[in-house]
């Protein structure tokens, strides 16, 4: 697209918004909608759009461009997140085919987040290599139509967490924090999935890091290797289950060990005592 023609294009303002529920208004932030689309190659710009709300658009695959009068043309590729602001006219499009996921939200607290600097018009494009928007999208998808107070508050919390993580991604502190976002995400994932059969190389790929960098950053930020960390999570849970009276075999399977005797050796190595002695102490 010839950027010089942008000033000649009409600006279209979106006017169709979901009417928020009373509790959503009281709580200060609501999700207007979520969605996902495969988009085909852009043909011609008919105009710029003002969304009238806040949105995060994740490019899951493919590449293309984002253009606005304030930013000019910015290239997009897999993992790019576009932050759209209520009164900022823009257009974005793929150069071939891409798949996008989007989350649209609004409310007085959404405006406050921008005023506080958690969203910045100087950082409209953010590289999301740890799945922040995708994770928020999947969480919202489960409760997007629920109208009870708990779901309304949870939706706000999901958006708040997403904004915070995007803020961290767009504002790396220093060299010391290199890889911190990826490892923090990995630690959170492991906390809920430690009993699964886990490949360190696959885990590294999950966060777009080489295995060597992943291992280095993991030890740097946790003080332990990935395997040591996984073992500590498993043994910690095993201690809880021993106190609950489960058998050693049951516990072994519950925390991810198919070989009971290997589990017993691992337990003694980490806990410094046998399963039996730990149970009776």
**How does pLDDT run across 160-217, given as a tens digit for each residue?**
999 998 998 888 665 567 778 888 889 988 988 999 999 999 998 888 888 888 998 8
Beta strands in the chain (DSSP E): 10-13, 30-39, 47-50, 54-61, 64-68, 72-76, 80-84, 91-94, 98-106, 125-127
Strands 98-106, 72-76: parallel, antiparallel or unpaired by DSSP?
unpaired
Rounded to whole angstroms, the Cα distance separating 236 from 227 reads: 14
Closest CA to 75 of 130, 124, 131, 40: 124
Model pTM? 0.62
SS3 90: strand
Rounded to whole angstroms, the Cα distance separating 67 from 6 reads: 9
Average pLDDT over residues 43-57: 80
**Domains of the chain by start residue, with CATH:** 3-171 (2.60.120.280), 175-281 (1.10.10.60)
Rounded to whole angstroms, the Cα distance separating 190 from 167 reads: 23
Question: Which backbone phi and psi does 226 adopt, to 5 degrees?
Answer: -55, -45
Q: How many CB atoms lie within 10 A of CB 238?
A: 26
Lowest-pLDDT range of 2-11, 145-154, 247-256: 2-11
């Amino acid at each position: 697209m010839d950027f010089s023609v942008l000033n000649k294009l009409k600006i279209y303002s979106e006017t169709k918004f979901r009417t928020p529920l009373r509790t959503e208004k009281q709580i200060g932030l609501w999700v207007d909608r979520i969605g996902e689309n495969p988009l085909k190659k852009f043909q011609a710009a008919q105009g710029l759009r003002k969304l009238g709300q806040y949105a995060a658009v994740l490019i899951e695959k493919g590449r293309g461009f984002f253009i606005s009068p304030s930013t000019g043309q910015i290239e997009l590729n897999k993992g790019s997140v576009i932050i759209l602001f209520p009164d900022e006219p823009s257009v974005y499009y793929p150069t071939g085919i891409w798949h996008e996921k989007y989350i649209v939200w609004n409310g007085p607290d959404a405006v406050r987040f921008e005023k506080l600097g958690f969203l910045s018009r100087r950082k409209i494009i953010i590289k999301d290599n740890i799945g922040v928007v995708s994770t928020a999208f999947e969480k919202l998808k489960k409760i997007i139509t629920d109208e009870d107070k708990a779901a309304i508050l949870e939706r706000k919390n999901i958006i708040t967490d997403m904004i915070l993580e995007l803020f961290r991604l767009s504002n790396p502190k220093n060299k010391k924090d290199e890889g911190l976002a990826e490892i923090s995400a990995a630690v959170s994932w492991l906390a809920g999935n430690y009993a699964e059969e886990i490949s360190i190389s696959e885990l590294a790929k999950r966060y777009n890091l080489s295995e060597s960098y992943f291992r280095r950053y993991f030890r740097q930020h946790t003080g332990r290797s990935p395997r040591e960390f996984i073992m500590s999570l498993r043994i910690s849970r095993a201690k809880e289950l021993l106190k609950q009276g489960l058998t050693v075999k049951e516990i072994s399977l519950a925390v991810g060990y198919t070989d009971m005797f290997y589990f017993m050796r691992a337990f003694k190595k980490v806990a410094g005592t046998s399963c039996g002695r730990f149970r009776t102490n």
